[in-house]
Structure 1
Amino acid sequence: MRITLLQLDIQFGQPEANMFHVEQWCETAQLVPHSLVVLPEMWNTGYDLTRLAEIADTDGRQTQQMLSQLAKKYQIYLLGGSVALKRGNKYYNTTFVYGPAGELLGSYDKVHLFRLMKEEQFLTAGNSSLSVNMAETVLSNVICYDLRFPEWFRKQASESGTQLFVVPAQWPLVRIEAWRKLLQARAIENQAFVVGVNRVGSDPDNQFGGHSMIVDPLGRIVLELDDNEATGSATIELSLIEEVRRGIPIFHDRRPELY
């Protein structure tokens, strides 16, 4: 499977500018049909949470239309990072995943809200996971702070047989080493590929660290970007998952009745 990471800067509170920016990067990224393309977290608004009433995408309609069109145009699987959206009278941090025909494969509301960026004051937490079958691969989506909860990953890996975790993020530079190590840890302990796509640039309160990565089931870094806007692509060998799981059968040897 070929995977392309779009590590982008985000304009604070400017959805239209950010949508145009994503479209531009897709045009220049030389996307390969039926590959997986991943965007960062909250790419439509950034963390301009105090203005969500003005700038959040109502029911995600604008976002979904755009992502569907891009997926169909380039014939790609598109995991659209995440966006700020309004549903009823509540706001969410939500991912949409699309297939090559422009079809919606699923959506995910961020489950663990990050207090250091005041998410819990403005957003509503989700209550369910997302696992989709994508090109004969089981993909599960989590968002940024979810990375710090290994039990959330293990639940999906053990119940859904997840082979590939995708983590869009806005992870600050000051904690970038934790980002790198946690991506590797989640890959090793779940014997799965882990893809993390972080933003770069800054907002009024944070500098973001990039270092988007693809990590294999042994924790080895397949691809790592720096802290500038960039695209990066790599092809992963999915057969490695079965090889690793057969060699060290952690899912067979688990004793969840004790945990």
Structure 2
Amino acid sequence: MAKKIFFCEGDMKISIAQMQVHEGDVEKNFETSLGMIEKACSADSRIVLFPELFLSGFDYPNLQNLSKKMPEYINKLLEKSADIAICGTFLENINDEIFNTFYCLYEKKVMLKYSKVKLFEVTKEDDYFCPGNKNQENTFDLFGIKFGVCICFELRFPEILRKAALKGAEVLLVSAIWPVERLNAWRKLSAARAIENQAFVATCNANDKSGKWICAGHSSVYDPNGTLLSSAYNQTTIKTISIDPEYAKNVREKFPSLIKAYDLNCAGG
């Protein structure tokens, strides 16, 4: 396992764990994720990001049963989080209501829980999932850095990550199962969120087939100027890249375009 690190000084290594999410096969997905966590630790990464619902996929007919298994697997991942932060989304069952919830696990603690607010009606997510509270927190602090998060379809709603950026988030994390037919939007929206928020954006998507969907892959890291730093393209792989969160602060200081909407004088003059 990697050496425990509490604060970020200069570059920080982040890993994006692009994998095939086998719908409904929790054990197989879990074994894949363990291997990727070990690789991230071997690369001295401080955080590893997984796709949306990376243990279960969107197995609609079995969501209730699958969701009840999640606490056991989350506890197993908590044990693996002593020296590396593990991020991704899980099924969460609250009084038999199902949420798609982003967790950040570190030092055997839950650092953040954020439930998906914008459900994707095209694939009937809203028939099976409850939306998260729109006022919930979507940032967390780790290694002296503020992170922001959103989940899949929410990438299309700039307000969600802007909310995190206005709270000081320098690194934005996106966990997704995004289809190949909308690959162009996936890439352009990811770069746009980086540019408009002057932040690093790390995305993690599934690749290959998950249920009836062919996933786009192309998990990537963009810098605050929207420049692509690394991509997994369509492979099952883990990509580790060094980023310097201080660079986001420098970009914001040199070109201060990150302002609150009500600061704009839209009336002109």
Which TM-score applies when normalising by structure 2?
A: 0.88
- SS of the residue corresponding to residue 162 of structure 2 reads helix
1:243 counterpart letter in structure 2 = N
% of aligned pairs identical? 28
Provide closer, same or farther for how the CA distance between residues 252 and 149 of structure 1 changes in structure 2, counting only shifts above 3 A.
closer
Cα offset, 1:141, TM superposition: 1.4
Cα offset, 1:155, TM superposition: 1.9
1:25 aligns with 2:36: yes
Pairwise mapping of residues 183-194 of structure 1 onto structure 2 (< 5 A)? Answer: 183-194=190-201
Structure-2 residue corresponding to 1:121: 127
Structure-2 residue corresponding to 1:4: 15
Provide closer, same or farther for how the CA distance between residues 133 and 184 of structure 1 changes in structure 2, counting only shifts above 3 A.
same
1:241 aligns with 2:269: no
Pairwise mapping of residues 153-168 of structure 1 onto structure 2 (< 5 A)? Answer: 153-158=161-166, 160-168=167-175
1:67 counterpart letter in structure 2 = L
Pairwise mapping of residues 1-259 of structure 1 onto structure 2 (< 5 A)? Answer: 1-33=12-44, 35-57=46-68, 60-72=70-82, 75-79=83-87, 81-99=88-106, 101-127=107-133, 128-158=136-166, 160-252=167-259, 254-256=261-263
CA distance in 2, matches of 1:148, 1:230: 25
Contact 2:40–2:48 (Cα < 8 Å) also in 1: no
CA distance in 2, matches of 1:32, 1:226: 20
The Cα offsets for residues 140-160 of structure 1, whole Å up to 9 and x where unpaired, read as: 1111011000111112211x1
CA distance in 2, matches of 1:221, 1:174: 21
Contact 1:186–1:194 (Cα < 8 Å) also in 2: yes
Which TM-score applies when normalising by structure 1?
A: 0.92
The Cα offsets for residues 26-48 of structure 1, whole Å up to 9 and x where unpaired, read as: 23445345611111101111111
* Count of residue pairs brought into register by the alignment: 253
CA distance in 2, matches of 1:178, 1:57: 34
2:163 counterpart letter in structure 1 = K
Provide closer, same or farther for how the CA distance between residues 254 and 86 of structure 1 changes in structure 2, counting only shifts above 3 A.
closer
Contact 2:206–2:217 (Cα < 8 Å) also in 1: yes
Cα offset, 1:64, TM superposition: 2.3
Contact 2:40–2:240 (Cα < 8 Å) also in 1: no
CA distance in 2, matches of 1:56, 1:91: 7
The Cα offsets for residues 138-186 of structure 1, whole Å up to 9 and x where unpaired, read as: 001111011000111112211x111111001000011011101001000
- Could you tell me which runs of 5 or more consecutive residues in structure 2 were left unpaired when the two chains were aligned: 1-11
Contact 2:149–2:164 (Cα < 8 Å) also in 1: no
Cα offset, 1:257, TM superposition: 6.9
Provide closer, same or farther for how the CA distance between residues 180 and 24 of structure 1 changes in structure 2, counting only shifts above 3 A.
same
CA distance in 2, matches of 1:210, 1:253: 33
- SS of the residue corresponding to residue 208 of structure 2 reads strand
CA distance in 2, matches of 1:254, 1:192: 18
Cα offset, 1:85, TM superposition: 2.3
- Could you tell me which runs of 5 or more consecutive residues in structure 1 were left unpaired when the two chains were aligned: none
The runs of at least 4 consecutive aligned structure 1 residues that moved more than 4 Å come to 256-259
Higher relative contact order (CA closer than 8 Å, sequence separation 6+):
2
Cα offset, 1:216, TM superposition: 0.6
